[in-house]
Amino acid sequence: ETGVTQSPTHLIKTRGQQVTLRCSSQSGHNTVSWYQQALGQGPQFIFQYYREEENGRGNFPPRFSGLQFPNYSSELNVNALELDDSALYLCASSLEPGIATNEKLFFGSGTQLSVL
């Protein structure tokens, strides 16, 4: 049990639609990172939010956007869905950005998104 919850667990959308995925971080964790994990692949970094501002972004187009709220919840929004967006989306929370000796990521179980 990591204390990080994601909703929904599964979602089916059609191409061109928009989707919002939600994550509830551990209490006190100021940092949330989002990852896309395609079938048979490792997770790919989408972006990170720290204290409600984007703090780093991977190689994903602007139609992938996020929000982080003061209550340790966050959202990943994807516009104009494409078939290749079908994947497991993971969020991970941590106390602060960067790596400290005792720092680590706490992952949620993910949202499985299928785009038809």
Partner 1 sequence: AQSVTQLGSHVSVSEGALVLLRCNYSSSVPPYLFWYVQYPNQGLQLLLKYTSAATLVKGINGFEAEFKKSETSFHLTKPSAHMSDAAEYFCAVSEDTGGFKTIFGAGTRLFVKA
What is the spatial distance between Cα 115 and Cα 38, in angstroms, rounded to a whole number?
12
- Is 25:73 a contact under the CB 8 Å cutoff? yes
Q: Which stretch binds partner 1 (CB under 8 A): 14-22, 40-48, 66-74, 77-85?
A: 40-48
Site string for partner 1, 70-89 (x = CB under 8 A): --------------------
When binding is defined by CB under 8 A, the residue of 24, 48, 68, 74 that contacts partner 1 is 48
What spatial distance separates the first Cα and last Cα of the chain, rounded to whole Å? 32
- Residue closer to partner 1 (CB basis): 1 or 62: 1
- Report if residue 109 touches partner 1, rule: CB under 8 A: yes
- Determine how β-strand 10-13 pairs with β-strand 31-37: unpaired
